[in-house]
Every structure is written in C-alpha cells, then in structure tokens.
Amino acid sequence: MDSKGMPGSAVTLLLVVTLLVCSAVIAAPAAAVTKYPEGAPAFTAMVTGVNEFTPGQDATISILLKNSGLNTVKQVDRGTIEPEDLPNTAKFTTASLGSAGDAVLIKSDPQMVGDIPGSGSTVAVQFKAKISANATAGEYQLPLTLRYKYTKVENQETADIFAFTYNDAEEILPVTLRIKPLVKTAVIEVVPDGLSVGSEGYLNLKIRNDGPENGSMAVVKLLRNGKSSVIPVDSSVFIGNFPSGEDVTCRYKVSVGQDATGQSYPIDIVVTYTNREGAVVSSTATTIGVPVQAKTAFTIVSPAPDVPAGSSRIIEVRYRNGGMTTVNNAQARIASHNPLTISDNNAYLGDLEPGEIATARFGITAAADAEPKVYSFDSSIRYRDTLGNSLESDTLPVQLTIVPAASGLSAVPGGLPALAGCVIAGILICIAFLVYRQRMKNR
C-alpha cells in the first residue's frame, strides 16, 4: 500500500485509464473530416484565338471550357470518412461539337476530356471544321455537348462505410462563330480562242462577284490546277473595283501540253482584293473546265504508187485536213530509207480548210536490187494554226510498192514509157519518109 493507503495495482490502473483518456482527447481533432453536402459543376465555353472564318476555309476551332461550379456548404464532422470526389468536379467528361447546318461542318469526333475540377478550372479542346464555300456572312451558333458524372451527396450510414454514388449530367452550350463577307467568283462564260493540243492560245472569261463583299484593287488570277494540261502564260488581270453583283471580262494567254487530248481540262480562278477592313485577301478558288481541241489530224487518201526496181519516178501523195480548223502554210515532208532514195522530200501544200485535200509530189528512185514488196515511209506535215503557232502533225505512213523491173528495161531511164516513146517516134519517122518518097515519084 502507498502512503495514502491505496494498493499499488489500483494506482497503476488509474494511471493507465488517465493516459488513455488524454490520448483520446488529443487525437480526436486529427480525425475531423470535411464534407461538402451541396455543389455541382457549372460550365461555360468560349472560342479562343480566331473565331472569324471565311467561306471554303478549313478551320480549327479552339474552345476553352471553364468549370465554375462551387461547393456551397461545408461540414466538418468527427470520426467520419472523407469523400474522394467533390460535388463540383465533373468526372469522365466528354465534349462533342455539332455542325451548323451545311454552313459549318464539324469533322472531329467527340473528345474525351477527363476530370475537370470546379472553382474556375479550365481545359482547352480543339475541333476540325470545314466552312462551306456557300456559307453566307453572319453569326453561327454551334452546339457543344458535355457529358459527365458528379458526386451525389448522401449521409454516412455507419462509421466505417461510405457509399460513393454519382449523377449523370449533360449540358449543351452555345459556341458562336462568325463568317466574314467575301468576294465570291461565279464564271458566266468560258470562250477558248485557238486552244488545241501542243499550242498556245487565249482564254476569254466573264466572271461575276456573287459574294456580299465589295472588293477594291482587285486582280483576277488564273492558276494551274494540279498537273492540268492547260497552263497559264499570262496569269493576272487587274480589274480595280469589283462590287458585289458586277460582271467583268478577262483574257489570258495559255498553253496546252503536247500530251493532251481533245477534251476539257481544269483551271482555277482566284480574286485577290482589298476588303472593307483594308486587308488584302483572296477569294476561294473556283475551278472551271477549259475545252481543248485535238491536234489537227491529217489522212492520206491516195493509193500506194508502184515504182519498178531500178527506176526513178515522181509519185503523188494526197493529204486531207481531217481537223476542225484551217491550217496555214502546210508543208509535207517524207523520210527515205533503203532501198529507196528521195531526191525531193519536201512539198508545199499551202492553206487547207477542214476537209480540203492537197497533193504532194516527191521524186523517188528505187535501187535495181530492191526486193519487190510494199514499203512504208514516215511523213509529217508542219503548219501554222490560226494564231500563227508552228505545229507538226503526227507521223503519217506513206506506202510504196516496188514492182519487178521489165526485162531489158531496168537500165533505160524512165523504163517502159521511155522505150514506147522511142518506138512511136521511129514509126512516125518511117511514115514521114515513105510519104516523102511517094510525092517525089509523082512529080
């Protein structure tokens, strides 16, 4: 027993109880838990950067999402479990931007944004869009749809269990874009002048400003479309003021590639001008088709001439203009090869209208040992078109038939016709001599 008459074990027990009570008193504040019984996300959306676009443009729309949701009630309990998510936090957020009719077409799929805390937190999202070339000037509202979950506030049933449940939410926020007024070109007439394969010619255009914008210091540009066979030589025409609804005419020199055919080929038209704000801008490119005439086609309409081996002849080849236009200063040329030689391989045909035929004459000599058969020789026609361009036709095969030489005539110049002439001349001389003698006898 101690000095007060208490047993030692009782004193020890009293000290232990006292320490436990003090520990509980000290530890109790550390177990206090903060809860927010009220609150929810609250979103706003705004376009950042550029929110003004032009018709025909490929656009990137940048949107800033802001969660301004607040937790309006704060509660501090003792001995409870603290929630992991606050009521104003948007969980598993997805954002999708809708189109504005046919004017603004959204090309991006819905985007997974994730968790967005409240109290002013922000997150940026971007969407790809195509502004229609037919979009009119003005403001357009696009629906931005947000889907997310947020904590549902519930009372704690027991001291060691807390059930986490969530609300599903969907919000649709308006996103405003502006379409700027723009000069819009409409092609009223396309008139080619002398455009044929492999040549240069002119393209006459009549265009109209179908847009709401009035352009000043305007230049109408002709641009090659990809690898089109129609290539601008003169590409710019200055027209000055280009008010909405006005028509202008432009003339350009263009060339057509050698590998083109008789069909239409694309070419682009762009108007560069100064807008109402004083900025130099360009209209959306307008693509038109330019009709091109096929290269003038010539045909040979004469039969293959015969040339005896070992003789010389003047052959005739008749060429026909099978094209749709007149050719000027046409000249035919033929290339020789063994066993034939051509002493005069150029022939002037002159001007040929469509369907007209002209005859070319060439001097041909066949070797004495030439094998009798049909031979083919390349010929072509060089000419000038209506604009004075020098052009050359495709290769035209000229066929000749080598026939065997008549016996004993191969060495006689001119062959059988020359020999027949000599015989006739001899007969005439004999007749004349006989007549002369008969007259002398009658005297």
**pLDDT(387) > 90:** no
Please tell me the predicted confidence (pLDDT) of residue 52: 87
Read off the amino acid at residue 311. Answer: S
Percent of the chain with pLDDT over 90: 46
Whose CA is closest to 216, among 270, 283, 276, 282? 276
For residue 3, name the pLDDT band (cuts at 50, 70, 90). very low
pLDDT in tens, 393-408: 999 999 989 999 865 4
Tell me the three state secondary structure of residue 442: coil
pLDDT in tens, 277-311: 888 989 888 999 999 988 888 999 999 999 999 89
**Hey, what CATH topology would domain 35-179 get?**
Immunoglobulin-like (2.60.40)
pTM, entire model = 0.60
Domain boundaries, the chain: 35-179, 185-291, 298-403, 416-443
Percent of the chain with pLDDT over 70: 79
What lies within 8 Å, CB to CB, of 336 at 6+ separation is 342, 345, 377
CATH (residue range 185-291): 2.60.40.10
Average pLDDT value for residue range 377-381: 93
CATH pick for 298-403 out of 2.60.40.10, 3.40.50.300, 2.40.30.330, 1.20.120.80: 2.60.40.10
**pLDDT(228) > 90:** yes
Lowest mean pLDDT among 11-15, 162-166, 310-314, 339-343: 11-15
Whose CA is closest to 242, among 263, 221, 261? 221
What lies within 8 Å, CB to CB, of 217 at 6+ separation is 240, 273, 274, 280
For residue 10, name the pLDDT band (cuts at 50, 70, 90). low
pLDDT in tens, 210-224: 888 899 999 999 999
CA distance to 195, 412, 414, 426, per residue, from 429 (Å)? 65, 21, 22, 5
Phi and psi at residue 164, in whole multiples of 5°?
Answer: -95, 120
Please tell me the predicted confidence (pLDDT) of residue 159: 55
pLDDT in tens, 77-114: 645 556 667 888 999 999 999 988 888 999 999 999 99
pLDDT in tens, 191-202: 999 888 888 899
Side-chain half-sphere CA neighbours of 261 within 13 A: 1
Other CB atoms within a 10 A radius of the CB of residue 168 amount to 9
